Structure 1
Amino acid sequence: MTQSPARPLPAPKERRRLREAASLTRAQLASRVGVTSETVRGWETGRSTPRGRTGEKYVKLLHSLGEAEMTSPQEAAADSDDDPEPPPPTAPETASAPRSARARRKAAAATDRKRPAAKDRGRGPVTVPARSHTPVPHGHRLILTERPRTTTTLRPDDAVAALTPDQAFDALYAFCAPALVRQTYLLTGRRELARESVERAFQNAWQRWPEVARDRDPAGWVRAMAYECALSPWHRLRPRYRHPEPPPSDAFDRALLDALLQLPPTCRRTLVLYDGVGLGLPETAAETEASTRAAVNRLAHAREALAERLPELADPETLHWRLVELASTGRLRAAKPPAVRRRAERRARFWTRAAIAFTVALIGTTALTVRTAPTHYEPPVPPGETVQGVPPPVAPGPLSEKERKLRAKLREEQQRGPDRLLPQAR
């Protein structure tokens, strides 16, 4: 009796891609394998390797997801807009996984009842259910992200040809803007600044749309720009942001927001990206322009600071749900995509005209300078100096009586013609 060779374990990025292609969250995959979502996170980020029977079950499930993706890619794309049906379970897990969408909705509703209500916040341990029952794209998590609202299903080869730049930008904005406003609110604690930062980021994206459209992760490009705008230190000099905004009504939310704002901006950004958005450590380090070791240290420092002030947030899953609730209490809304595009174009026209006017003024000033400048060098006249030892010149004074007689005699004896008055020796 021969034994089939063991199936190879995919790479960490491939594990995550297979799970997201099947529209499964970490919690749903963990319930199938029989582990926690943090264990699945470690497997997908490469921090740990599945072993034993659990590892065999995990590998078998990944290969079944890959086979389902290869056999029916069009059906998976058609069902992505509705409530997605998970791929067919393997034989060992048929009894535990729901077989229909209705059964899975009932199980999700029963699990959601375990979530603490608003009045129970901060009162002991929390049982956290599965975070989402909808497909979650790469690098995003529940409530801090949004599902695409488009209903048209396009094949990958027709997506670029079918969408105009305006439609592609509007789709990206509708998908990312609501979640980015909530994320930037966690970074700044100001609703108006969060909306303004996200709008400014999308304005820059529209001005550089060919570059953003060809980027591997347009959502990450806009998110990084929004975070940079929100955490800019120049906002403290603006009069409208010198006074704090009204805090949340819930006491626990106020304490959590104060604890977040007390963190350094780099640690706060790392915490929101890792525990809020759900990025892995390499992606978080790359977006914060730091090494992986520095990102780990910042995340550990942020978690320790929050756990010191709020011991209920020591569990990462509980911290995620608290961040979700805090971001949802603000009821933040983003502007419409056409309005953002119009403002971006108006802003681009303004700065273009300002650059043209400055160039024309510079050319005119240069021409005037060239026209009025001297053509030769004129040395400056040095100031006068006093010469010592030379008597000053004496002006002629009035003539004396003797000098007047001599003058009259000379005038009388003056001869005309060739004769000249010759001096006589005495």
Structure 2
Amino acid sequence: MTRSPATPLPPPKARRRLRETAALTQAQLAARVGVTRETVRAWESGRTTPRGRKREAYAKLLNTLAEEATARRSKPEPTASPEPAPVPVVVAVGAGSADASEKAADSLVLPAKPLDERRSDPDPDPGPGPDPAAEQESGPGPGPEPTPDPAALTPAQAFDALYEFGAPALVRQTFLLTGRRELARESVERAFQVAWEHWPEVARDRDPVGWVRAAAYEYALSPWQRFRLRHRHPEPPPADPGDRTLLNTLLRLPPPHRRTLLLYDGVGLGLPETAAETEASTPATANRLLHAREAIAHRLPELADPEVLHRRLAELASSERLRAARPPTVRMGSERRARFLTRAAIAFTVALIGTTALTLRTAPTHYEPPVSPGETVRGVPPKVAPGALSDEELELRQKLRDQLQDGPERLTPRLE
């Protein structure tokens, strides 16, 4: 019996490109095919290949997406003036070469859908829409600009694009994590400065915004922050009483629980991704999430539903007017910090070499044994003043005078 040939599939990169062109996330495409999100990620990375009916369904869906993309390219664009973009609720940001469009749709601009529906919506609207990166700053604009080719960008331009894409949302996330506006801005800027210092590593990372987010969270939650004088004084709380109560409830949570809750219910990461970013096991992360939700529901019963909690976190983050510095400022600050550290290291090395040379120049050339410390000798009679000799001393003196003082005769034994 001969086996029928397998349905042909495009290369893994072409599969991902077709999905991104149709504005579909991996979870949405997985729901259409009937598999999990991790399976679609493995198919697009080339680690595994679909087989059987799943292969046929996947190939059919890719062909449909390719036809839709061809139809959109051949269809003339309307000349009507674009409508103003709606004001987005910016809470989180995703990135990465493999999951850029998925996390941007799931985390950057939060739609009116609840979080669970955003993770498993089987029939999203694949129509063309404004790019999430262009909607990051609210307000009407002239229309979406063409996305530049990443291969044609210089490192500085790529860093500036990443900063403009992720910094505003990261500042809002860090504010929810710490409750301090200035610390949130400082943490994000310091994280991007470290990212620019390690740019070759960050540029090759599959989730560069996640790399920066982890660095910003670590800096913001550092225990050394409590010793800084500027952070000992409380900042003005939010004006709305509900926002103030929610923020105080978040800040009462332990830092690991607070970070887990923000990543899962605020950013929209999955449980394995949250566990990996918090450097904890998946069961431990699940327990932290449950305890954090119970603590919030105990004080705010209306937030017991994760969907309502997710929406309230988005509203709380968007209510604060937090602005990040410009990308060139952060990049130049990183370069100045790198120059300062380099010069400090050179100065320390020169001082160490000079100290070593001076020590070798002034050190003794031969070994000098140390002088033993003095010891007290007991039993010696005290020294007396000169005076008349006693009879025993006179006899001893006469005996010594009678004996030979020198010469070989002194060595001759004699009988007494």
Instruction: Tell me if both proteins adopt one fold, taking TM over 0.5 as the criterion.
Output: yes
1:261 corresponds to 2:251: yes
- Quote the residue 1:313 is aligned against: 303
Equivalent pair of 1:273/1:279 in contact (CA under 8 Å): yes
- Quote the residue 1:380 is aligned against: 371
Whole-angstrom CA distance in 2 between matches of 1:199 and 1:368: 43
Give ranges in structure 1 of 5+ residues lacking alignment.
1-6, 8-14, 34-39, 47-57, 80-84, 86-99, 116-134, 398-426
CA distance 1:361–1:206, shift in 2 (3 Å): same
How much does 1:23 deviate?
2.0
Seq. identity, %: 61
Determine helix, strand or coil for the equivalent of 1:151. coil
Q: Which residue identity lines up with residue 22 of structure 2 in the other structure?
A: A
1:151 corresponds to 2:117: no
Q: Which residue identity lines up with residue 321 of structure 1 in the other structure?
A: R
How much does 1:211 deviate?
1.0
CA distance 1:308–1:199, shift in 2 (3 Å): same
Determine helix, strand or coil for the equivalent of 2:107. coil
- What aligned pairs does 1:93-242 form with structure 2 within 5 A after superposition? 137-138=102-103, 140-143=106-109, 147-149=132-134, 151-154=145-148, 159-160=150-151, 162-242=152-232
Whole-angstrom CA distance in 2 between matches of 1:62 and 1:346: 51
Whole-angstrom CA distance in 2 between matches of 1:67 and 1:314: 43
How much does 1:71 deviate?
4.4
Whole-angstrom CA distance in 2 between matches of 1:394 and 1:172: 97
- Quote the residue 1:126 is aligned against: none
CA distance 1:26–1:307, shift in 2 (3 Å): farther
Equivalent pair of 1:143/1:328 in contact (CA under 8 Å): no
Equivalent pair of 1:274/1:284 in contact (CA under 8 Å): yes
Which of 1 and 2 has higher RCO (CA within 8 Å, sep 6+)? 2
How much does 1:395 deviate?
5.9
Whole-angstrom CA distance in 2 between matches of 1:188 and 1:78: 50
How much does 1:222 deviate?
0.6
- What aligned pairs does 1:403-414 form with structure 2 within 5 A after superposition? none
CA distance 1:249–1:59, shift in 2 (3 Å): farther
Give ranges in structure 2 of 5+ residues lacking alignment.
1-6, 8-14, 40-53, 90-99, 112-130, 135-143, 389-416
Whole-angstrom CA distance in 1 between matches of 2:297 and 2:286: 16
Equivalent pair of 1:144/1:327 in contact (CA under 8 Å): no
How much does 1:396 deviate?
9.2
State the TM-score, normalizing by the size of structure 1.
0.63
How much does 1:59 deviate?
11
Whole-angstrom CA distance in 2 between matches of 1:303 and 1:282: 18
Whole-angstrom CA distance in 2 between matches of 1:264 and 1:21: 41
- What aligned pairs does 1:28-107 form with structure 2 within 5 A after superposition? 44=37, 65-71=61-67
Q: Which residue identity lines up with residue 138 of structure 1 in the other structure?
A: K
- Quote the residue 2:392 is aligned against: none
Equivalent pair of 1:271/1:299 in contact (CA under 8 Å): yes
- Quote the residue 1:90 is aligned against: none
Equivalent pair of 1:194/1:230 in contact (CA under 8 Å): yes
Task: Please give the per-residue CA displacement for 1:80-125, whole angstroms capped at 9, x wherever unaligned.
Answer: xxxxx9xxxxxxxxxxxxxx9x9xx9xx99xx9xx9xxxxxxxxxx
How much does 1:389 deviate?
4.5
Alignment partner of 1:301 out of 269, 291, 312? 291
Whole-angstrom CA distance in 2 between matches of 1:17 and 1:335: 33
How much does 1:257 deviate?
0.4
Larger radius of gyration: 1
How much does 1:383 deviate?
2.6
Q: How many residues align?
A: 316
Q: Which residue identity lines up with residue 378 of structure 1 in the other structure?
A: P
Q: Which residue identity lines up with residue 230 of structure 1 in the other structure?
A: A
Whole-angstrom CA distance in 2 between matches of 1:212 and 1:380: 62
Q: CA RMSD in A?
A: 4.2
1:23 corresponds to 2:23: yes
Q: Which residue identity lines up with residue 232 of structure 1 in the other structure?
A: S
How much does 1:312 deviate?
1.2
Whole-angstrom CA distance in 1 between matches of 2:383 and 2:374: 19
Whole-angstrom CA distance in 2 between matches of 1:266 and 1:365: 46
Determine helix, strand or coil for the equivalent of 1:392. coil
Task: Please give the per-residue CA displacement for 1:54-94, whole angstroms capped at 9, x wherever unaligned.
Answer: xxxx9999766533444466888999xxxxx9xxxxxxxxx
CA distance 1:136–1:331, shift in 2 (3 Å): farther
CA distance 1:212–1:75, shift in 2 (3 Å): farther
Whole-angstrom CA distance in 1 between matches of 2:354 and 2:74: 62
Alignment partner of 2:329 out of 323, 339, 346? 339
Determine helix, strand or coil for the equivalent of 2:333. helix
- Quote the residue 1:392 is aligned against: 383
